[in-house]
Amino acid sequence: MTNVSRENAPLSYAIIGSGALGGLYGGMLANVGSDVHFLINSGIDQIRRDGWTVESVLGDFHISGDLLNLHTDASSIPPCDVTIVAIKTTQNHLLPQLLSGSTSKDGVVLCLQNGLHSELDSVAVVGPDRVLGGCCFLCSNKIGPGHIRHIDYGRIVMGEFTDASLPPAGITARLQRITDDLRAAGIDANATGDLWMARWRKLMWNIPFNGLSVALNASTKELIDNESSFAIAESIMREVYDVAAAVGRKLPADAIELTLDHTRHMVPYDSSMRLDFLAGREMELRAIFEAPLTAAKRAGVVMSRVEMLHRQLAFLQSRADH
Amino acid sequence: MTNVSRENAPLSYAIIGSGALGGLYGGMLANVGSDVHFLINSGIDQIRRDGWTVESVLGDFHISGDLLNLHTDASSIPPCDVTIVAIKTTQNHLLPQLLSGSTSKDGVVLCLQNGLHSELDSVAVVGPDRVLGGCCFLCSNKIGPGHIRHIDYGRIVMGEFTDASLPPAGITARLQRITDDLRAAGIDANATGDLWMARWRKLMWNIPFNGLSVALNASTKELIDNESSFAIAESIMREVYDVAAAVGRKLPADAIELTLDHTRHMVPYDSSMRLDFLAGREMELRAIFEAPLTAAKRAGVVMSRVEMLHRQLAFLQSRADH
């Protein structure tokens, strides 16, 4: 990779966004002794005092505060091999500042964000050749500063980010090396040669279940248990499936059924969008709804249900903003 | 009409359902001295004592209790020329009992209910040749027993009910006579030769604005003022318009724009469906959503947004029922 390739030297990491996702994966890396720099938004004194606590279905662990590299200012983070972007996409306008330290020499960005085209905001800062992306299938919550509760799943499917019009990038050496390094920390990281395929597959879940959990004020369990909301979710998944196919990412024929099955067996969980909405935070509408709707429109496909759900969320967001 | 045709004799009326709608129109008829029998569900003693009070944009009036024909049991109502059905369609399973007195000899039923095919439940009781239907464009609320507040509009478009597969029935003598009689009471009643046309036009409002007012927990004013909900409403109206055309009821080209304009200038108003939902009553999903969706399906047209909105409402209704 641009220089993650000091071959056998251990990889260093910056974690931009130490919440439910960055806090878990960054914690797991630090827990096996990796060189990890956390960007901390709030509660740094508490973390210095109490350390980093992860309650996880994979096993609990704790790292004492004096072993942590904590930063409140991104520009003070030294250059790292891998900068993991784990903030909400709604904060992406901050990326020029947030990436300033850790990517200042070279290294790559691994964008573990929701939605479609979310990597483009990182590309705008570090250029197209230094960005990878990953989809996380994870049920995790931040309980407090440096305190993460990981309750289910945890898989990352990650790949090189390339323009959707180009052929799939395949599995590059740097992608494989970072994947291996994450796996060595116990993270269920998986390399894919076609990141877009993974993105669309994730959207097939995010669009219905994030969206309906807010529009109907319901948990994923309620949505899957009720025949009416189940039917909406399924028909929305079909729309996303069809658009993915139209843009050249035909998912396996059983993708919808498998995703519904996974959701049926998921522990009761509030989607990230519902948590955002209930907490009065901006929802990730641009990444999860608007970018896919734009992609569909370019492909000449109408996603009428997705469009309507997006408009409902935009209404609710707009009312919450007033 | 089957026998409303005692030519110049004054028409007698039974009002089945003395709420926001039946209470207003029945009150207006009684106020000009018509022979009106009210079926009263609750509060009859209070009405006997305090009389009938209508606060209306058309002018307030009051009828003292001793001038009212009040019934708590439908079977005690004498045969009437016109039985106005003004209960919610969710109560239509009661019609065999509710129509037992007033239609016991002959006379017609004028079904002033929401939705599509709502007349069929009356047809099942009195037969196909004795039913007329009407669409009401009315903002009115029942404040208490015998107390109606009429805040905007009030038009009725009424016609003979015939099977949708038959040619429009035209304006029959009995339809004209009842219309004239209602107009003489100050009611803005209008005869139409094609009731289905009026039904579809009304549905073009009811489906989006009743539905979204519940799904988004919003007043019609909020829905029309916000660009996202406005866009949903407009796209749903387009779906209804297209289905109406597919079943042979092509509405005027400007029907959507005119309906939106009317709604924009409507006083802030809670839709009847929202009032039902907030009060824990069953919503009129069968008449307003399911019957039109069935008609669309038969015509081979998909109303994907209407279907999704219906499923959202079914989810909310089901949750409210538990």
Q: What is the maximum alpha-carbon separation in chain A?
A: 55
Task: For chain B of 322 residues, list the mean pLDDT of each consecutive stretch of 10.
Answer: 61 96 98 98 96 97 98 98 98 98 97 97 97 94 95 95 92 97 98 97 96 96 96 98 97 96 83 93 98 97 98 97 85
Report residue A3's pLDDT band, with 50, 70 and 90 as the boundaries.
low
| pLDDT of the residue at B4 | 58
| Beta carbons of A318 and B226 less than 8 Å apart | yes
Stretch A174-203: mean pLDDT = 97
Q: What ipTM was estimated for this complex?
A: 0.91
| Beta carbons of B318 and A232 less than 8 Å apart | no
Q: Which domains does chain A have, with CATH numbers?
A: 12-193 (3.40.50.720), 197-320 (1.10.1040.10)
| pLDDT of the residue at A4 | 58
* Nearest beta carbon to residue A215 from set B222, B305, B312: B312
| pLDDT of the residue at B90 | 97
| pLDDT of the residue at A269 | 73
| Beta carbons of A312 and B232 less than 8 Å apart | yes
Between chain A and chain B, the number of residue pairs with CB atoms below 8 A apart is 62
Judging contacts by C-beta atoms under 8 Å, the chain A residues touching residue B235 are 304, 307-308
User: Which of helix, strand or coil describes residue B300?
Assistant: coil
Report residue A267's pLDDT band, with 50, 70 and 90 as the boundaries.
confident
Sort B302 into a burial class: Cβ within 10 Å, 0-12 / 13-18 / 19+: middle
Sort B310 into a burial class: Cβ within 10 Å, 0-12 / 13-18 / 19+: buried
Average pLDDT, chain A: 95
Evaluate if residue A98 carries a pLDDT over 70.
Answer: yes
Q: What is the pLDDT of residues A33-44, one digit of tens each?
A: 999 999 999 999
- What is the C-alpha to C-alpha distance for residues B84 and A189, in angstroms, rounded to an integer? 68
Sort A114 into a burial class: Cβ within 10 Å, 0-12 / 13-18 / 19+: buried
- Per the rule left: phi > 0, alpha: psi between -120 and 50, beta: everything else, B246 is alpha
Evaluate if residue A5 carries a pLDDT over 80.
Answer: no
Which position has the token pair 């039946």?
Answer: B22
| pLDDT of the residue at A221 | 92
Q: A83 pairs with which residues across the strands?
A: A14, A109
Backbone angles phi, psi at B252, to 5 degrees: -55, 150
Judging contacts by C-beta atoms under 8 Å, the chain B residues touching residue A234 are none
- Residue A250 is among the residues annotated as catalytic for this protein: no
**Chain B interface, mutation test: which of A217, A232, A242, most B Cβ atoms within 10 Å?**
A232
Please choose, from the candidates B307, B128, B116, the residue with its C-alpha nearest in 3D space to the C-alpha of residue B197: B116
Residue partners of B32: CB distance under 8 A and separation at least 6:
B184, B185, B186
Contact B281, B167 (CB under 8 A): no
Residue partners of A87: CB distance under 8 A and separation at least 6:
A16, A17, A19, A22, A94, A98, A113
Sort A253 into a burial class: Cβ within 10 Å, 0-12 / 13-18 / 19+: exposed
Among all residues of chain A, which has the CA nearest to that of B317? A228
Spot the catalytic one: B142, B202, B221, B297.
B202
Quote the minimal CA–CA distance from B92 to chain A in Å: 24
Give A34's Cβ-side CA count (13 Å radius).
27
Q: What is the pLDDT of residues A104-149, one digit of tens each?
A: 999 999 999 999 999 999 999 999 999 999 999 998 989 999 999 9
| pLDDT of the residue at B139 | 87
